[in-house]
């Protein structure tokens, strides 16, 4: 728990000081992939429980590696596991990326589940998160996991102000593919309709003093730098699957 508090405080302090947070995603829940990724000192490493091949049963294995690294351990969760927030946190998850948030009530309910009474309804039990009861309970119950809400639909975009006003929210993370799909322009990231939407989300985040982030699906430092210049501060940078695709392309001389 002491290490978790330290890592999440580091992430929050970097955002407070307007420094970019750069994390990466795991879609393949293999412990050896986690070991490799842990060598690169990302601010956080997230297991993708929405589109990845992993499940809640893989979380404790990955936490055994990631929790002992310098990276915070996040889980990207979808509607099917919003109700399992308490369980994920018990298994060592230190932050949540909540997909397709479209209204404030859903986000409030998720955050309520992450807090111990009287702020929430999270139950206390011996688990990985508190070193099976060895950690001091007073420190354990004050820990607040990092919360990022994903804006991936037109509805979420239209309700951005209400979502940003939810107490306990740390930042917004744009899901580019789903957002473009919802806007009727799938994958058209240079479309005026899409870029205008991004600008309005950034403006709303600045107004409400919340960091705005985006997922960069393929490793691209130029794209990362451009987004930083545009005002983004929180990044999902690539994934194990897209990095493997990029690295294993057949050499052009053999094509």
Is the pLDDT score of 29 beyond 70?
Answer: yes
Is the pLDDT score of 2 beyond 80?
Answer: no
Mean of all residue pLDDT scores within the chain: 95
Cβ-based neighbours of 64, under 8 Å, separated by 6 or more? 31, 92
The pLDDT value recorded for residue 255 is 60
Which burial class, exposed, middle or buried, applies to 247 when counting CB atoms under 10 A from its CB (0-12, 13-18, 19+)?
exposed
Distance CA 129, CA 150 (A): 25
Is the pLDDT score of 72 beyond 70?
Answer: yes
- 3 state SS of 26: strand
H or E stretch covering 216: strand 211-216
Is the pLDDT score of 142 beyond 90?
Answer: yes
- Strand pairing report for 146-151 and 95-98: parallel
pTM of the model: 0.95
3-state helix, strand, coil in the chain (%, to 5): 45, 15, 35
Continuous H helices in 17-131: 31-37, 59-66, 85-90, 104-114
Distance CA 38, CA 161 (A): 35
Distance CA 24, CA 185 (A): 26
The pLDDT value recorded for residue 167 is 96
Is the pLDDT score of 250 beyond 80?
Answer: no
The pLDDT value recorded for residue 170 is 98
The pLDDT value recorded for residue 224 is 96
Domains defined for the chain, CATH in brackets? 2-243 (3.20.20.60)
Question: Measured at the alpha carbon of residue 119, what is the angle toward residues 164 and 73, in degrees to the nearest 5?
Answer: 65
Kindly report, residue by residue over 76-89, the tens digit of the pLDDT: 999 988 989 999 99
């Amino acid at each position: 728990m002491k290490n978790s508090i330290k890592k999440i405080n580091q992430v929050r302090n970097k955002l407070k000081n307007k420094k970019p947070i750069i994390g990466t995603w795991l879609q393949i829940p293999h412990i050896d992939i986690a070991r490799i990724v842990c060598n690169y000192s990302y601010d956080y490493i997230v297991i993708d429980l929405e589109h990845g091949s992993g499940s809640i049963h893989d979380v404790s294995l990955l936490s055994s590696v990631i929790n002992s690294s310098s990276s915070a351990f996040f889980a990207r969760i979808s509607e099917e596991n919003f109700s399992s927030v308490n369980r994920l946190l018990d298994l060592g998850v230190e932050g949540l990326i909540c997909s397709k948030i479209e209204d404030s009530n859903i986000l409030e309910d998720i955050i309520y589940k992450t807090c111990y009474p009287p702020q929430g309804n999270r139950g206390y039990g011996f688990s990985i998160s508190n070193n099976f009861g060895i950690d001091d309970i007073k420190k354990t119950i004050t820990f607040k996991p990092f919360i990022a809400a994903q804006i991936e639909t037109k509805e979420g975009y239209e309700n951005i102000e209400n979502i940003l006003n939810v107490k306990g929210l740390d930042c917004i993370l744009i899901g580019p593919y789903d957002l473009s799909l919802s806007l009727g322009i799938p994958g058209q990231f240079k479309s005026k309709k899409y870029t205008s939407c991004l600008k309005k989300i950034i403006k709303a985040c600045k107004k409400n003093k919340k960091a705005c982030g985006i997922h960069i699906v393929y490793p691209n430092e130029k794209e990362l730098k451009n987004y930083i210049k545009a005002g983004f501060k929180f990044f999902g940078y690539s994934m194990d699957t897209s990095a493997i695709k990029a690295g294993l392309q057949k050499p052009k001389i053999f094509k």
